[in-house]
């Protein structure tokens, strides 16, 4: 995981803090990918990313 915009230790710390506060959170890690996942990533990872985004929107925006 080499993402120069969102460092993994910071993402894990943020995720852990939200869980500690009792928030419903999900962390998706895509091995070998970086911040360009949506444009240049492995097609399977790109599809999974889109599925996760759509699932989040259906859950939290549709109500």
The string of pLDDT tens digits covering residues 14-60 is: 999 999 999 999 999 999 998 889 999 999 999 999 999 999 999 99
* Cα-to-chain-centroid distance, residue 10: 13
Q: Which domain holds residue 46?
A: 8-60
- Environment class of 3 (CB within 10 Å of its CB; exposed 0-12, middle 13-18, buried 19+): middle
* Cβ contact 38:49 at 8 Å: yes
The answer as to whether 36 is a domain residue is yes
What pLDDT, on the 0 to 100 scale, is given for residue 4? 77
Task: Please give the Cα distance from 52 to 33 (Å, whole number).
Answer: 16
The answer as to whether 33 is a domain residue is yes
The answer as to whether 3 is a domain residue is no
pTM (2 decimals)? 0.81
What pLDDT, on the 0 to 100 scale, is given for residue 17? 99
The answer as to whether 29 is a domain residue is yes
Q: Say how many domains are in the chain.
A: 1
The answer as to whether 2 is a domain residue is no
The answer as to whether 42 is a domain residue is yes
The answer as to whether 1 is a domain residue is no
């Amino acid at each position: 995981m080499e993402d120069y915009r969102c460092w993994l230790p910071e993402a894990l710390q943020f995720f852990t803090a939200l869980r500690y506060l009792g928030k419903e959170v999900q962390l998706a890690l895509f091995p070998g990918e970086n911040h360009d996942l949506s444009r240049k990533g492995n097609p399977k990872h790109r599809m999974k990313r889109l599925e996760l985004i759509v699932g989040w929107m259906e859950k939290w925006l549709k109500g």
